[in-house]
């Protein structure tokens, strides 16, 4: 298979590129994660978001534990080719491991404090089977 599309990306020194998941239809930014060549290739091949987990040091198929998968409708790169944008359908409505719709649920308020502006849709302990 031709890898010109992968070679066009400016991978960092660790072979990673930041990836932003944006909800198809609403344009809501759901989350940011990292991808390597293998995860991006699998994402393209399967149509489901696959990321590289830096903490686990392995591929992470979004939803493998939670069931909240991301079906990919489009893959883009930015003008510098150093960020990937995935246009996704968020299955189950929860993208964040905190049980929220998206990971950007804190907003800086006028007093310089971070205010939580989005509710928890499901207790993360219930999602991940922790007690």
84-108 pLDDT, tens digit each: 999 999 999 999 999 999 999 999 9
What is the tally of structural domains in the chain? Answer: 1
Residue 103 covered by a domain:
no
Q: Which residues pair with 55 in a beta bridge?
A: none
Whether 131 shows a pLDDT value over 60: the answer reads no
Residue 130 covered by a domain:
no
Residue 30 covered by a domain:
yes
CATH of the domain at 61: 3.10.20.810
Residue 66 covered by a domain:
yes
Residue 38 covered by a domain:
yes
> How many CB atoms are closer than 10 A to CB 112?
6
Residue 105 covered by a domain:
no
- CA contacts within 13 A on the Cβ side of 2: 3
Residue 131 covered by a domain:
no
For 20, the domain range is: 4-92
Whether 1 shows a pLDDT value over 80: the answer reads no
């Amino acid at each position: 298979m031709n890898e010109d599309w992968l070679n066009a990306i400016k991978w960092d020194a660790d072979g990673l590129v930041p990836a932003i998941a944006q909800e198809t239809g609403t344009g809501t930014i759901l989350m940011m994660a990292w991808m390597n060549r293998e995860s991006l290739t699998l994402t393209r091949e399967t149509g489901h978001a696959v990321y590289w987990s830096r903490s686990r040091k392995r591929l992470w198929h979004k939803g493998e534990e939670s069931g909240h998968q991301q079906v990919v409708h489009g893959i883009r790169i930015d003008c510098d080719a150093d960020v990937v944008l995935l246009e996704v359908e968020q299955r189950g409505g929860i993208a964040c491991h905190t049980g929220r719709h998206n990971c950007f649920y804190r907003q800086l308020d006028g007093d310089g404090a971070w205010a939580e502006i989005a509710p928890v849709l499901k207790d993360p302990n219930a999602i991940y089977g922790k007690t």
